[in-house]
């Protein structure tokens, strides 16, 4: 064997490019009986919809959508009804804490998210989502990358009146490049 005693290393490289357009709109309940619609869209396609008195179910609380920015697809959705119980806020806190560093999460509220939200406030703040000033029937929407709070986009309406006249919404484009190098050793 001419290569006896030598180790051969093979490197396999791949590149993935992210360009994912994300839109989100949150809403709150209101006493004026006005229809409000919330949504999350990925590359223009609605992937989550909810409404107050409208055609979609009212998905009350804080809704999260985990996004793969390279395929611009949902990898997971969760709903935490932080109006119904404090346990839902504890579950939200745990869920956000367990996300892997670099994970991209969209959050959008529906109806009334603040009643029992307190246990999750510090974890949300760690993501760059400071909503301690949002009161009853306020609303908020955000997109965050775990571990990078300065990149977070947050829109909020701190009161029912503000949420009725100006539903929180944003448009964001996730961009990035992922380089993967795999080293294969052959003896």
Domain ranges, ordered by start, for the chain = 20-182
The mean per-residue pLDDT over the stretch 180-186 comes to 73
Beta carbons of 172 and 19 less than 8 angstroms apart? no
Banded pLDDT at 2 (limits 50, 70, 90): low
Q: Is the pLDDT of residue 12 over 90?
A: no
- What pLDDT score was predicted for residue 4? 67
pLDDT in tens, 33-77: 899 999 999 999 999 999 999 999 999 999 999 999 999 999 999
Q: Is the pLDDT of residue 164 over 70?
A: yes
Q: Is the pLDDT of residue 187 over 70?
A: no
CA pair distance 178, 71, nearest whole angstrom: 12
Q: Is the pLDDT of residue 84 over 70?
A: yes
Q: Is the pLDDT of residue 169 over 80?
A: yes
Banded pLDDT at 5 (limits 50, 70, 90): low
Both structure tokens of 173:
């484009």
Pick the closest to residue 124 from 76, 77, 82 (CA basis): 82
């Amino acid at each position: 064997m001419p290569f006896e005693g030598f180790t051969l290393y093979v490197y396999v490289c791949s590149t993935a490019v992210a360009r994912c357009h994300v839109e989100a709109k949150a809403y709150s309940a209101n006493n004026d009986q006005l229809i409000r619609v919330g949504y999350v869209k990925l590359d223009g396609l609605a992937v989550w919809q909810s409404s107050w008195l409208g055609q979609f179910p009212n998905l009350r609380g804080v809704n999260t959508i985990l996004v793969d920015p390279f395929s611009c697809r949902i990898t997971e959705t969760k709903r935490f009804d932080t109006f119904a119980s404090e346990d839902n806020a504890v579950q939200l806190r745990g869920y956000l804490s367990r996300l892997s560093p670099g994970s991209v999460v969209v959050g959008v509220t529906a109806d009334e998210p603040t009643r029992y939200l307190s246990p999750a406030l510090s974890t949300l703040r760690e993501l760059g989502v400071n909503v301690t000033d949002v009161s009853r029937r306020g609303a908020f929407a955000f997109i965050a990358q775990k571990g990078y709070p300065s990149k977070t986009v947050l829109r909020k309406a701190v009161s029912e009146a503000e949420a009725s006249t100006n539903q929180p919404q944003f448009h964001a484009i996730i961009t990035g490049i992922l380089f993967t190098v795999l080293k294969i050793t052959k003896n």
